[in-house]
Chains A and B, each alone.
Chain A
Amino acid sequence: MPPKIEFCMKALEAYNLKKSFSRNKQIVTAVKDVSLTIEPGEILAFLGPNGAGKTTSIKMMAGLIQPDAGSVRIMGKDPHRNAAALQNLGAVLEGNRNLYWRLTPEENLEYFGVLKGLTRREARLSGKELLTRFNLLAKRRTPVQQLSRGMQQKLAFAVALVHRPQLLLLDEPTLGLDVEATEDVKILVREIAAAGCAILLTTHQLQIAEILSDRIAIIQKGEILAEAPTQKLIQQFSGTTYKIEMQAALDEARILELEKIGLEIEARRIIYVDRTELLYKAFTILQSLPIQAVLKEQANLTEIFLQIVKQGNNLND
């Protein structure tokens, strides 16, 4: 029997996308070179400052903007040449504005389900399932305009998922939501990815990107500056500084010994160790004293983002 070859098709493949627009008789390059791939079930946070080219890139991936160069495949099909590719795509492009506000949630789900190729019966069934899952069943007959912002956003997700796509594009999904609604959206995004749907997410809320994403891509001035698994990127930008917090104040002799090997001490209780090899020397000096905590300095995504964008600016200048 021949060996079984596991073939896993990528949910999204975008290679060398380029796009320039003519604005006021000037050519403006919105996207210089963007390549991204996403595996099924993966969440990719696509980050960048305003005007970096995120939305243009996403719309090229969705087939809504024709790229000047490059190629896009959604589950192996080109959305610019083959409309069937759109069957595997769901998108919430501008918050909750992809809904008919005069229709109810179940009417929106039925209509958009049929628009995505389902029969009305299939759309109704899938819609009901999503309304239950998203805790919106009680509001299924309330016109969208009377729903809260959070509910509208959850419904926008449901509408994008009604035809069970393999790829979901989310442009600023938590923009303008309160804390509770943001938490709901975070849970939903995780659940959707866990069910095998690939998610491309843009957000300015970097904490959300850090918590939700498996991988991060940072774009600036139309170019991807960094792309890596989220944890790897954080590790990469995290320093090697450790912080040792003592339970009680240190005596003068130990402080002198610690300073002798080049460590910094703050308020007689906190010791900063900037190299891993010094950590164990410090432990030897501190032997038998009660330690409150040993912490490794961890960069957060906001610092990483700002650092990368700053480096990108310096390179461009």
Chain B
Amino acid sequence: MIELFLAELKRNWILQRRYPIEVVGIVIITVSIFYGLFLSARYVAGANFQLGDRLDSIVIGYVLWSLVLFIMGNIASILQYEAQTGTLEQLFLSQFGAVKVFLIRALASVTLQLIFVLTILLAILLLTGSRLNFPPALLLPLIAVLMGANGIAFTIGALALLFKQVNQLQVIFQFGLLFVLATPTETWTGFVQVLANILPIAPSAGILRALMARGESLNLTQLAIAFINGVVYFALGLGLFRLAERQAKKRGVLGGY
């Protein structure tokens, strides 16, 4: 498994290094969109534009959103691309089994993509003047974020296995997630608070905002909820992917596009 992880990491690294314009382009576009929105908000607010830790919270939501988009792209988009290029069936001919291969692949990609996301974050901090805290404790909710994001990615991947063209659905998911990640759901109360705990990645995003933007300490109850949320979505994604693999083999649509 470690060999496969290293091979995936190497494959990813070679592709990024060999075609750097694609990566640089994505980073620039992601930063530009946020900066454009930031400048528009400043223009609307006029001279009294002061967001304080609200800006920091928005930055965290936006950067998390871009991380989730990268992870979704790893599985769902690449799966559609590989079905077109013909390499997809070779992955299913591996003795490791498709779920393990895609899981290792996601892990290897995330390792590299965390670097891109960090670059995006630093660029946004520089451009907007936002200041964030980086306590070591942020790693824990970040793991929950990664689990939830991979769960969603595997769910869309499962649909891509069966229906091949899921671009429209992916876009709907992307904007839905922008809402979930950018909204401070941790401030919701009553019934909607329960909803906030159920929405994918929302509890871990809330903890990250508390830690990094508002400088609060780690709430263990919230962390437990975030982990349960992450594990449930991750398990759901993997389960659906496994089901979709079986269905695709039954329907004979594994490699077709």
What is the interface of chain A, defined by CB distance below 8 A to chain B?
19, 21-22, 30, 56, 59, 62-66, 83-84, 86-87, 89, 91, 93-95, 97-103, 107, 110-112, 114-120, 123, 143, 159
Contacts and interface: CB of A to CB of B under 8 A. Distances in A.
Nearest to A60: B252
B94 A116 contact: yes
Interface residues of B, number: 30
Interface stretch (B7-15, B117-125, B177-185, B234-242): B7-15
Nearest to B247: A66
B255 A87 contact: no
B249 A98 contact: no
A118 B11 CA distance: 16
Contact of B89 (A83, A93, A110, A120): A93
B86 A93 contact: yes
Given A83-B95, A103-B11, A116-B94, A98 B3 contact: no
Contact of B249 (A66, A99, A114): A66
Contacts of B85: 97, 101
Given A107-B11, A119-B3, A65 B89 contact: no
B87 interface: yes
Instruction: Please provide the 6 A-B residue pairs with the shortest distance between their CB atoms, ordered closest to farther.
Output: A97-B86, A114-B7, A66-B249, A65-B252, A115-B94, A86-B95
Contacts of A64: 89, 92-93, 249, 254-255
B93 A56 contact: no
A73 B172 CA distance: 44
Contact of B87 (A62, A84, A100, A116): A100
B15 A65 contact: no
A102 B15 contact: yes
Most chain A C-beta atoms within 10 Å of own C-beta, residue among B4, B11, B101: B11
Interface string B1-29: 00110110011001100110000000000
A59 B11 CA distance: 27
Nearest to A19: B252
Given A64-B89, A103-B11, A59 B95 contact: no
Nearest to A86: B95
Interface string B107-118: 000000000000
A84 B97 CA distance: 10
B252 A59 contact: yes
A161 B196 CA distance: 51
Interface in B197-242: none
B96 A115 contact: yes
A99 to B, nearest CB: 7
A21 B93 contact: no
A98 B87 contact: yes
A243 B93 CA distance: 52
A63 B92 CA distance: 9
B222 to A, nearest CB: 40
A311 B90 CA distance: 37
B94 A86 contact: yes
A59 B252 CA distance: 9
A83 B255 contact: no
Contacts of A123: 7
Contacts of B93: 62-64, 86, 89, 91
B11 A111 contact: yes
B89 A115 contact: no
A155 to B, nearest CB: 13
A112 B18 CA distance: 19
Contacts of B95: 83-84, 86-87, 116-117
Contacts of B19: 102
Given A65-B252, A98-B89, 7 more contacts: A30-B252, A63-B249, A83-B96, A91-B90, A99-B87, A117-B95, A118-B3
Contacts of A98: 86-87, 89-90
